[in-house]
Amino acid sequence: MIARPIRTALIPAACLLLATTAVAQRQPQSQPSLGPVRLPKEWQDRFWGTPQAQAMLKLSPKELTDLVPVQAGFRFCPCPSCDAGERTDPLAWSIEKPKVVRCRKCQGEFPNPSFPAPSPSDKKVPVEKVEVSPGVWHSYPYHDVDDDKADYFDERAYLEAKRDYEARAFLAKAALYCAVRWDDQAPQARDPKLAATAAALILRFAQVYPAYAMHNDRPGVSKLLLPAKVPPPYRHSYQTGKWDWNGSLETPMNLLLAYSLIRDGADWTEAGKLLDCPNPKRTIEEDLFLASAELSARHPDDCTEDSLAVYRGMLSVGRLLGRKDLVIEARSRLAEFARRGFYYDGFWRGADVLSHRRVLGMLEGWIDGLLAEPNGRPVVAIDVPMLDLARSAAAAVASRPPDPEILQASWPVETSLETEHRPMLLGGAGLALLSVGGPGKSLDVEIRGRDSLVDRRCQRLAFRLSLDGVPLLDDLDEHPATADGWDLATASHNTVVVNGLNQRETPQAARTPAPSSDFLYFAAEPDFQVATVSDRHAYPISTRRYRQTFLVSRWGRRRYALSIFEVDGGVQHDQIFHTAYGRKEHWRPNMAATPFAGSLLPPSIEFLPSARPDEGRWFVQAYGEFRPRLRAEASGPCRVDLDRGDGSPPALRLHLLGDSPAGVITAESPDGPPTPHAPAPSGATRSDLIVRRRAEAGAQLTSTFVSLFEPSEPGLAPLDRVGRVDSVADAVVVLVESPEGTEHFIFNRKPGTRVQVQLASGRYVTTDGLAVRVRDDEIVLSGGTYAEANGTLASQPSVRGTITAAERAPSDHGRGWFLTPDKLPEGLAVAGRSLFVEHGDGSVKAWTLDSVEPTAAGTRLWVREEPGFTIDPATDEAAYYQFPLNKAPGPHRFRLAQTTRVRPTARKVAASPAINRPRASSN
Q: Phi/psi zone of residue 195: left (φ > 0), alpha (ψ -120 to 50 degrees), beta?
A: alpha
**Cα–Cα distance between 394 and 405 in angstroms, integer?**
17
Contacts of 141 (CB under 8 A, 6+ apart): 117, 118, 125, 126, 127, 128, 158, 159, 160
Under 8 Å between Cβ of 704 and 564: yes
Beta-bridge mates of residue 128: 140
Quick one: CA torsion of 391, 392, 394, 400, rounded to 10 degrees? 110
Q: Which of 286, 274, 153, 162 is nearest to 220 (CA)?
A: 153
CA 462/CA 430 separation, integer angstroms? 11
Half-sphere exposure for 167 (CA within 13 Å, toward CB): 25
Ranges under pLDDT 70 in the chain = 1-30, 373-384, 397-420, 456-459, 673-682, 905-921, 923
What pLDDT, on the 0 to 100 scale, is given for residue 459?
A: 67
The DSSP-derived string for 723-767 is EEE---TTEEEEEEEETTEEEEEEEESSTTS-EEEE-TTS-EEEE
Alpha-carbon distance of 787 to 910, in angstroms, equals 13
Q: What is the pLDDT of residue 401?
A: 54
Question: Per the omega criterion (within 30 degrees of 0), is the bond before 884 cis?
Answer: yes
Q: pLDDT tens across 263-321, in order?
A: 999 999 999 999 999 999 999 999 999 999 999 999 999 999 999 999 999 999 999 99
Strands (E), 430-557: 431-436, 443-448, 462-467, 470-473, 496-498, 518-524, 528-534, 545-555
Q: How many residues does the chain have?
A: 923
pLDDT given for residue 407 in this prediction: 38
Please check whether residue 359 is in contact with residue 308, taking contact to mean a CB–CB distance below 8 angstroms. yes
- Nearest-angstrom CA–CA distance, 65 and 659: 73
Burial (CB count within 10 angstroms: exposed 0-12, middle 13-18, buried 19+), residue 714: exposed
Structure confidence at residue 642 (pLDDT): 97
**DSSP per residue, 203-226:** HHHHHHGGGPPEEE--TTS--EEE
d(CA 906, CA 913): 20
Quickly count: other Cβ atoms within 10 Å of residue 874's Cβ: 6
Query: How far apart are the C-alpha atoms of 692 and 590, rounded to whole Å?
Result: 17
Q: In this structure, what DSSP letter does residue 287 have?
A: I
Could you report the per-residue pLDDT of 185-215, keeping only the tens digit for each? 999 999 999 999 999 999 999 999 999 999 9
Contacts (Cβ under 8 Å, ≥6 apart) of 302 = 236, 237
3-state secondary structure of 687: strand
- Whole-number Å distance between alpha carbons of 754 and 736: 24
Question: Shortest CA distance to 709 belongs to which of 660, 650, 668?
Answer: 650
Closest CA to 34 of 282, 502, 365, 297: 365
User: What per-residue confidence (pLDDT) applies to 420?
Assistant: 64
- The region, left, alpha or beta by phi > 0 then psi within -120 to 50, assigned to residue 665 is beta
Q: Which of helix, strand or coil describes residue 567? A: strand
CB 101 within 8 A of CB 233: no
